[in-house]
Amino acid sequence: MCRHLAYLGPPVPLGALLFDPPHSLARQSWAPRDMRGGGTVNADGFGVGWYAAAAEPVRYRRADPIWTDLTLPALAASTVSGAVLAAVRSATVGMPVVETAAAPFAEGPWLFSLNGVIRGWPDSVAELAARLPTRDLLTLDAPTDAALLWTLVRHRLRTGAAGPEAVAETVRTVAAAAPGSRLNVLLTDGRLLVATAAGHALSARVTGSSVLVCSEPLDDEPGWRPVPDGTLLLATAGRVDLRPIEGTGSTRRGSRDAGSTGPAP
């Protein structure tokens, strides 16, 4: 498993998400609270992507534990963004620990992350992989379940699907092919955030101008709400909508648990 987060709202230093909170993403790398049997630490790489002036995001990824990187704290303190996606990785046994396996994965305006595991890998999803263009399989970021899941989502995006549709259909299809998988996904283009709670914990905090979605809350302050299992979360800054994903767990339509202020367009 991994830990990840996504933020949309007024520009903040990256450090306000990665290092400053008492249960920041960096702390979750070595002291996670809710791994649910998916390992004990998240020390197999990390990555952060953020949106600046350009339409396409900037990424900083490494294959080492986030606490060993001497450059990132100063970079995070001096870099400000209103759209961020970051993750720390716990590699599934047998999968490589390389920089290209660390989220966020990216293409064009999109950033993507998986907190989870595909059960029965790789046999369970071999048929789904075979439906992809051969070139996509030959150019996987890494031979991992997360990279394949990203490639499946990306293929739908490339063929015209909207972000929510691409994520929901991919998660539903993979869950059917590999029962028991944990498929908590984050996808953003810097304006819209798409997330799933499918087999693992996810929490959201919404204010009038921001939304923060995390594997685990970054602090003990009020305002955090659990996202029900089997849920697709759509958000823009300050607005959240929850929708059920059939076939991925218990579902409940609505927005109360995530502290919504209205539906995302």
Mind telling me the catalytic residues?
A: 2
DSSP state for residue 262 in the 8-state scheme: B
> For 193, left (φ over 0), alpha (ψ -120 to 50), or beta?
beta
Q: Find how far residue 141's CA is from the centre of its chain.
A: 16
DSSP state for residue 68 in the 8-state scheme: G
E strand intervals along the chain: 2-13, 46-50, 58-62, 80-89, 105-107, 110-117, 182-188, 193-197, 203-206, 211-214, 224-226, 231-236, 239-244
Rounded CA separation 76/5 (Å)? 15
